[in-house]
Amino acid sequence: MRNIMTHYRYTTKAHLDRRDRKNLPNMLPYIWDYRGRVLLALLFLVLAKMANVGVPMVLKYIVDALDKHQQTTPVLPITLLTAYGILRLSSSLFNELRDAVFARVRYHAMRRLSNQVLTHLHDLSLRFHLERQIGAISRDLERGTRSISSILNYMIFQIIPTLAEFLFIALILFSQYDIQFAGITFLTVIIYVIFTFAVTEWRMEFRYTMNAKESEANNQAIDSLVNYETVKAFNNEAFEVQRYDNTLSQWELAAVKSQTSMSALNFGQSAIIAIGVTLIMLLASQGVVTGQMSLGDLVLVNAFLLQLFIPLNFLGVVYRSVKYALADMDLMFKLLDNQPEIQDHPQAQPLQVNGGAVCFEEVSFHYQPDRPILAPLSFTIPAGHKVAIVGASGAGKSTVARLLLRFYDVTTGRILINGQDIRHVTQASLRAAIGVVPQDTVLFNDTIRYNIAYARPQASQAEIVTAAQLANIHTFIESLPQGYDTTVGERGLKLSGGEKQRVAIARAMLKCPQILIFDEATSSLDSHSEQLIQTALSQVAVNHTTLVIAHRLSTIVDAQQILVMEQRQIIEQGTHIKLLNANGVYAAMWARQQEEK
């Protein structure tokens, strides 16, 4: 799924209808936990509508009672007036009880769905997250989560109540009045529904375009803000705003078409209702004139029509809103349909780490068959040893670390830890055994304490401080006005590159894993800080199996084995001294870096 927004662009109407029919049943699990509350809410709904329909019935008898005594001394129908008030109060009471009972169902469904989506996003593989557009996804998820609440709200508070009221009114019209009244009412409703559905389906294309362009614009805005420094450095503020405005202009065009077509739809609906009401009132008035109907019957029919057509008028809005909500929800359910590329084997067992020996056996890897990343390579890191990988950019060094973490599965060969194929152990246990200090450290927008403790949230303050001291950042943290409670900013932008990397090193040390990966962990540090941290890293690595991916060769001279990669394969290997004596690629790299110093 390279771009989630392409759903809007290439989805046919028939496909959308199929998706809608599939997505509606998909909602059921989210309300099943509170099915008792749903049934109770429906009971209150029926009682509220019965009371609501009873109001015009009592009003008819009140009018007839007053009209009957018009020629004599009027008598106040106390009982009927009391019943009228009770029915109105009952309708309001049952409606509020329905809302209160159903609130738990609606918000629990939103909470459960939000948790499921976030869990699913974390389960998806690295390939998906490298290709995602976070701005578009965040917008679609926000709309998708709201959509399930909207649909439940419309179903319980709009659609079902209107249908129930329509059935009650139709039953009374059929049983007590001329069939013409029910016939005109049914015909009006049928024409109204057909007109609404037809025009709304035509308008949906505008809504899809609006959603697509809104997501695209939101993604562009977030992307430009996330890369604020790059935008400023290249003086491209106007370019970013223009790109944003170009997308918004397409959104504006679709929004205008949506609004104007909605006005036409609303007028058409009002015209249908007006014609239907006029015809029924003519019949009712004729009945009163001829003496076939009482004045109370006229009031009753008029009240019924108002009760029926007012919510029916909103039903058009509800139908459109439900269609829009289904379109929003479809993107979210399509996201949930994405299956993780990397999954635990059905019989996967927890990794047993006894020393942490690592072995790559004839491992090759590619993203695409025509784009190999690693040629078959084999090497071993004995338990407690330090092995370094060096080479030019693009040689495949960082891919080795990603394969060891099982962010991807190898194309051929296998990776073993203490003789266990990492594809046959659980991912959780594998990553629990490995600590990583990445080259590009991204921190959470929280405190320094939180970011260090992220490796082990239950760690004590003393353990956090010890890890910070090992990473040579404790003194710097203490010098800050808020110390460990200092907020690092979005992606850690309030800290320098070296400070962020030292926080990452402290985090890895706090995790206390048996296997350590340093992916160019000192590349952003000055020479002084590098020397201090290198001493700490050497001390930590003594009792750990350590894989170091290095750019600065001075940081790996103490490694028991150095692997030199070029063109996706190992071309040299040995200790620092042995490789220098070989006078090959490594020796040339060393000489070049010494000259730069």
**Closest C-alpha to 365, from 326, 404, 416, 335:** 404
324 in the same domain as 227? yes
State the residue range of the domain holding 484: 444-502
Give how far Cα 471 sits from Cα of 447, 535, 567, Å: 17, 10, 34
Q: What is the pLDDT of residues 20-70, one digit of tens each?
A: 666 666 677 777 778 888 889 888 888 888 888 888 888 877 777 776 655
429 in the same domain as 462? no
520 in the same domain as 476? no
In a domain? residue 348: no
Q: What is the pLDDT of residue 242?
A: 93
Q: Please state, in angstroms and rounded to a whole number, the distance separating the CA atoms of residues 332 and 117.
A: 8
Q: Which residues of the chain have pLDDT under 50?
A: 1-12, 14-16
- pTM here is 0.63
Which run of H or of E encompasses 421? strand 420-421
Output the domain CATH number for residue 321.
1.20.1560.10
In a domain? residue 331: yes
552 in the same domain as 456? no
**Closest C-alpha to 112, from 33, 194, 19, 212:** 33
Q: What is the pLDDT of residue 12?
A: 45
Q: Which amino acid is at 39?
A: L
**Closest C-alpha to 423, from 398, 399, 406:** 406
Dig out the tokens for 26 from the structure: 């998909």
Phi then psi for 495, rounded to 5 degrees?
-105, 155
Per DSSP, the three-state class of 472 is coil
Written in H, E and C, the secondary structure of 334-387 is HHHHCCCCCCCCCCCECCCCCCCCEEEEEEEEEEECCEEEEEEEEEEECCCCEE
Q: Please state, in angstroms and rounded to a whole number, the distance separating the CA atoms of residues 330 and 21.
A: 11
Q: Please state, in angstroms and rounded to a whole number, the distance separating the CA atoms of residues 578 and 576.
A: 6
Give how far Cα 153 sits from Cα of 38, 158, 200, 256, 422, Å: 12, 7, 20, 27, 47
Give 414's strand partners: 361
Per DSSP, the three-state class of 433 is coil
Residue with tokens 């060094």: 397
379 in the same domain as 306? no
**Closest C-alpha to 552, from 524, 580, 573:** 524
Q: Please state, in angstroms and rounded to a whole number, the distance separating the CA atoms of residues 415 and 563.
A: 17
In a domain? residue 198: yes
In a domain? residue 438: no
Residue with tokens 């309030």: 494
In a domain? residue 140: yes
- Find the angle CA(269)-CA(275)-CA(277) to the nearest 5 degrees: 100
Q: Please state, in angstroms and rounded to a whole number, the distance separating the CA atoms of residues 481 and 419.
A: 49
Output the domain CATH number for residue 402.
3.40.50.300
Q: What is the pLDDT of residues 119-155, one digit of tens each?
A: 877 777 677 766 666 666 776 677 777 777 777 777 7
Q: Please state, in angstroms and rounded to a whole number, the distance separating the CA atoms of residues 293 and 371.
A: 85
268 in the same domain as 249? yes
Q: Please state, in angstroms and rounded to a whole number, the distance separating the CA atoms of residues 398 and 450.
A: 27
591 in the same domain as 531? yes
In a domain? residue 5: no
Where b means 16+ CB within 10 Å and e means fewer, 307-324 reads bbbebbbebbbbbbbbbb
In a domain? residue 565: yes
26 in the same domain as 87? yes
Q: What is the pLDDT of residue 460?
A: 92
Check: CB of residue 507 under 8 Å from CB of residue 454: yes
268 in the same domain as 378? no
**Closest C-alpha to 519, from 388, 377, 373:** 388
Query: Domain boundary at 477, 502, 527, which?
Result: 502
- Find the angle CA(266)-CA(214)-CA(490) to the nearest 5 degrees: 145
Q: Please state, in angstroms and rounded to a whole number, the distance separating the CA atoms of residues 101 and 40.
A: 7
Dig out the tokens for 344 from the structure: 């635990």
- Find the angle CA(201)-CA(205)-CA(210) to the nearest 5 degrees: 130
**Closest C-alpha to 344, from 411, 430, 261, 269:** 430
Check: CB of residue 413 under 8 Å from CB of residue 379: no
Phi then psi for 389, rounded to 5 degrees?
-120, 125
Provide the phi-psi class of 282: left if phi over 0, else alpha when psi is between -120 and 50, else beta: alpha
Dig out the tokens for 463 from the structure: 């353990």
189 in the same domain as 107? yes
527 in the same domain as 381? yes
Residue with tokens 């009792």: 543
Bridge pairing between strands 545-549 and 515-519: parallel
Q: Where are the beta strands (DSSP E) in 468-583?
A: 515-519, 545-549, 561-566, 569-574
Q: Is the CA virtual torsion 546, 551, 556, 561 positive or negative?
A: positive
Phi then psi for 375, rounded to 5 degrees?
-80, 160
Check: CB of residue 27 under 8 Å from CB of residue 38: no
Task: Give, rounded to a whole angstrom, the gap between the first and last alpha carbons of the chain.
Answer: 46
What secondary structure letter does DSSP report for 2?
A: -
In a domain? residue 8: no
Check: CB of residue 136 under 8 Å from CB of residue 216: yes
257 in the same domain as 110? yes
Q: Please state, in angstroms and rounded to a whole number, the distance separating the CA atoms of residues 569 and 504.
A: 29
Residue with tokens 């809504």: 207
Q: What is the pLDDT of residue 73?
A: 55
Dig out the tokens for 12 from the structure: 């046919």
Dig out the tokens for 226 from the structure: 């996330």
How many domains is the chain built from?
3
Q: What is the pLDDT of residue 425?
A: 93
Which run of H or of E encompasses 258? helix 237-290
Check: CB of residue 300 under 8 Å from CB of residue 60: yes
